[in-house]
Amino acid sequence: MLTALESSTFLDPLRLLEVARARFGIESWRPGQELTIVNVLAGGDTLAIMPTGGGKSLCYQLPALEISGTTLVVSPLIALMKDQHDKLEALGVDVLRLDSTLTPREEVAALERLARPEPCIAYVTPERLSDREFRSQLARVKVGLFVVDEAHCISQWGHDFRPAYLGLGEAVRELGRPTVLALTATAPPRVKDDILAQLDVRDATVVDIGLQRPNLRYHVVKAQTERKKRAVLVRLLERMLTGSTTGCGIVYAATVKNVEALCTFLQKCGIEAGMYHGRMRSREREEAQAAFMERGEPRVMVATNAFGLGVDKANLRFVIHYNFPGSLEAYYQEAGRAGRDGASATCVLLYQPDDKRIQSFFLGGRYPTPEQTKSVSDALRRLGSAAEAAGRETPALKDLAEAADVPAKKTRVVLSFLKDAGYAREIGGTQFAPLGDEPPDEPALQRAATRYEQKRTQDRARLQSMLRYAQSHLCRNKLLFSYFGYAEDAAEPCGTCDNCVRSREDSVERAFAAERAERRRVHELTAPVPMPAHVTDQESLSAERRALLEQTMARRRARANRARALRVERAAALAPRCSAFVTGDVVRHPVWGEGEVMSVAGDTIGAFFPGHGEKLLKAQFLEKVLEA
């Protein structure tokens, strides 16, 4: 235990800032860092939710130097571990990687090092940590701080859900309950609760500083066809690359095929672009990553979203999403890789309304149906028993898929479920054998089907929010805030997103139009009343006659005005009130604030209010702020 005096110097923020300065070259704290670091050093479990690029790594790197024993960091990707490892090594921090790339001898050496009490940071993947044998070896290591980076991966509601993360709560208990620090940029309320529950740290301090990234300009560009989308991409890249002379950017595409096709297309258009995806050989991939990260060569990288997660490149000036992401969380994470140096950066989402991928997402093509689940389970039993009887190898995934008549990807999903539920055994990642003699019973298969159904519903809801973001006329920053569960008034309109810029331009345009109308009105009031055509010689009219004529003309004009006003009033009374609103109008409600019209049926308007959700209400309660 620390004495009061020791603990007060130990936790003194000024002294800690000195250490941060000396070891990491940091001048002042970023929001949330000080609180998180002090809390962690005081032994308090903490969940820190800070924006992408907000400086979450420092929240464990600094405490790691101060506590005795190892700081074990669970990290989702080997590339990310490598990036952080190399940076820390360059700073002279004692750091290790415990991933599958280590040879057995290297692993023994690493564990030997960890058994010593001097501070050290060790990175590990959740898959490695779920290996029982590896865990038993870790038993000799004193873990002082247990860190879960990208903690949203723990939550089944998180967009990157990884089953191996589910074992982390158990790992924490086995390691003797060290202080736990979970870090993420994207934790809507449900995900936040899930992280705390999974890690069994329900009383953890939550440091949540929101999504503040004022330097990011969010834009959405609609393109009706693939060809137009490509043309937009070329225009955007030309503008971005000539706009700054050193900045780089990423173009994200959804699949390996798209990445390859886009890269070739850009090169044909004379735009030099690198390429990164999971099917490249690891040497090539590493070279492509290093060239882009270290030298910015070439300045554009076309990649699948595995590229850049948590990787720290300061001068990314733009991130363009060529394909539609599946959720706002994923979009915010990926777009947030731009502008980590704090200088302004642009995040563009290209949106093609009839994108086939979006449609197929909605049709729920990703999860097996109950029939497919049963079919794979039957095929496994049939082929497995036959192979065993004939003394042949256990059936391979592709044979099972063929026998069940279910696509390979979905067959894989069902087999994973059967494995988790104790009905199947996996051999070498491609072959499966049934376990036990009894086939899974109906309730077990039903459970699997329910789980897929939940996932499907959840995916649809996520995609719906993403679509809303793309189609909305409201401030994109405010939409993000409301999606992540922050109060609507936590964010002012950003003033820099496409919608804010457009609404400013509209209001300037409206102000001009109002001024023009006012000028016309004043002119009409003050202009001399024209005389009837037959009065040719005005000079010859007597003063009385002239006054009389003017009065008649004024009366006639007033009558015409009244008639016009009456016509307008009658038309308004006859037309249904709702005709004043169309989809896309920005409206204001006295209680829910600003929202957007989603549907119009008679005088019932469906409108979406950030922070309050979708409401159905009568048109009379809404005031129009901006026309679609």
Ligand X SMILES: Nc1ncnc2c1ncn2[C@@H]1O[C@H](COP(=O)(O)OP(=O)(O)OP(=O)(O)O)[C@@H](O)[C@H]1O
C-alpha 221: how far from chain center: 17
What is the x/- site pattern for ligand X, positions 513-542, by CB under 6 A? Answer: ------------------------------
Span from 280-288, 346-354, 403-411, 488-496 in contact with Zn ion (CB under 5 A):
488-496
Residue from 500, 580, 586, 600 touching Zn ion (CB under 5 A): that is 500
Span from 23-31, 538-546, 549-557, 592-600 in contact with ligand X (CB under 6 A):
23-31
67 contacts 41 by C-beta, under 8 angstroms: yes
Residue whose CB is less far from ligand X, 50 or 98: 50
**Residue 336 touching Mg ion (CB under 5 A):** no
Q: What residues does 301 pair with on adjacent strands? A: 250, 274
3-state secondary structure of 68: coil
Span from 51-59, 405-413, 484-492, 496-504 in contact with ligand X (CB under 6 A):
51-59
Beta-strand ranges (E) seen in 110-173 are 120-124, 143-148
> How far is CA 625 from each of CA 178, 377, 473, rounded to the nearest angstrom?
53, 57, 11
Q: Which among 618, 564, 57 is positioned nearest to 48, based on CA atoms?
A: 57
- The binder of 494, among Zn ion, ligand X, Mg ion, none, by C-beta within 5 to 8 A per type, is Zn ion
Q: Which among 197, 183, 74, 66 is positioned nearest to 138, based on CA atoms?
A: 74
Residue from 54, 296, 440, 595 touching ligand X (CB under 6 A): that is 54
C-alpha 547: how far from chain center: 73
Q: How many Å apart are CA 120 and CA 73, to the nearest integer?
A: 11
**Residue 384 touching Mg ion (CB under 5 A):** no
**Residue 310 touching Mg ion (CB under 5 A):** yes
Least gap, CB of 276 to ligand X (angstroms): 17
Residue whose CB is less far from Mg ion, 314 or 487: 314
- The footprint of ligand X on residues 185-244 (CB under 6 A) is 185
Least gap, CB of 38 to ligand X (angstroms): 14
- The footprint of Zn ion on residues 306-325 (CB under 5 A) is none
- The binder of 497, among ligand X, Mg ion, Zn ion, none, by C-beta within 5 to 8 A per type, is Zn ion
Report which residue's Cβ sits closest to ligand X. Answer: 55
Residue whose CB is less far from ligand X, 94 or 312: 312
**Residue 196 touching Zn ion (CB under 5 A):** no
454 contacts 359 by C-beta, under 8 angstroms: no
What is the x/- site pattern for ligand X, positions 308-327, by CB under 6 A? Answer: --x-x---------------
Least gap, CB of 336 to ligand X (angstroms): 6
Q: How many Å apart are CA 69 and CA 144, to the nearest integer?
A: 5
- The binder of 472, among ligand X, Zn ion, Mg ion, none, by C-beta within 5 to 8 A per type, is none
- The binder of 29, among Zn ion, Mg ion, ligand X, none, by C-beta within 5 to 8 A per type, is ligand X
**Residue 626 touching Zn ion (CB under 5 A):** no
- The footprint of Zn ion on residues 458-477 (CB under 5 A) is 475, 477
Q: How many Å apart are CA 491 and CA 266, to the nearest integer?
A: 37
Q: How many Å apart are CA 141 and CA 117, to the nearest integer?
A: 8
Least gap, CB of 76 to ligand X (angstroms): 10
Q: What is the CA radius of gyration of the chain?
A: 32
Residue whose CB is less far from ligand X, 36 or 394: 36
Q: How many Å apart are CA 496 and CA 215, to the nearest integer?
A: 9
Question: Rounded to 5 degrees, what angle do the CA atoms 290, 296, 302 make?
Answer: 80
Kindly tell me the number of DSSP H helices and DSSP E strands found in the chain.
Answer: 22, 20
Residue whose CB is less far from ligand X, 54 or 384: 54
Residue from 55, 144, 167, 188 touching ligand X (CB under 6 A): that is 55
87 Cβ neighbours under 8 A, 6+ residues apart: 312
**Residue 71 touching ligand X (CB under 6 A):** no
Q: How many Å apart are CA 100 and CA 128, to the nearest integer?
A: 7
**Residue 50 touching ligand X (CB under 6 A):** yes
Residue whose CB is less far from Mg ion, 310 or 384: 310
279 contacts 306 by C-beta, under 8 angstroms: no
For 81, the enclosing helix (H) or strand (E) is: helix 78-90
- The binder of 50, among Mg ion, Zn ion, ligand X, none, by C-beta within 5 to 8 A per type, is ligand X
176 Cβ neighbours under 8 A, 6+ residues apart: 143
Beta-strand ranges (E) seen in 78-204 are 95-98, 120-124, 143-148, 179-184
Q: How many Å apart are CA 386 and CA 430, to the nearest integer?
A: 18
301 contacts 275 by C-beta, under 8 angstroms: yes
Total residues in contact with Zn ion, by rule CB under 5 A:
6
Residue whose CB is less far from ligand X, 46 or 375: 46
- The footprint of ligand X on residues 328-347 (CB under 6 A) is 340
Residue whose CB is less far from Zn ion, 192 or 219: 219
Residue whose CB is less far from Mg ion, 54 or 595: 54
Span from 52-60, 95-103, 172-180, 573-581 in contact with ligand X (CB under 6 A):
52-60
- ω before 298 within 30° of 0 (cis)? yes
Q: How many Å apart are CA 483 and CA 188, to the nearest integer?
A: 7
Residue whose CB is less far from Mg ion, 56 or 412: 56
Least gap, CB of 213 to Zn ion (angstroms): 12
**Residue 368 touching Mg ion (CB under 5 A):** no
**Residue 335 touching Zn ion (CB under 5 A):** no
Residue from 11, 19, 26, 42 touching ligand X (CB under 6 A): that is 26
388 Cβ neighbours under 8 A, 6+ residues apart: 394, 433
Residue whose CB is less far from ligand X, 57 or 496: 57
Q: Roughly how many angstroms between the first and final C-alpha of the chain, as a whole number? A: 64
Span from 231-239, 497-505, 538-546, 549-557 in contact with Zn ion (CB under 5 A):
497-505
Q: Which among 147, 159, 155, 5 is positioned nearest to 84, based on CA atoms?
A: 147
- The footprint of Mg ion on residues 45-104 (CB under 5 A) is 56
Output the furthest CA–CA distance in the chain (Å, rounded): 125
Q: How many Å apart are CA 465 and CA 328, to the nearest integer?
A: 7
Task: Summarize as ranges the residues that interact with ligand X (CB under 6 A).
Answer: 26, 29-30, 33, 50, 52-58, 185, 310, 312, 340
Binding interface with Mg ion (CB under 5 A): 56, 310
Q: What is the contact surface with Zn ion in residues (CB under 5 A)? A: 475, 477, 493-494, 497, 500
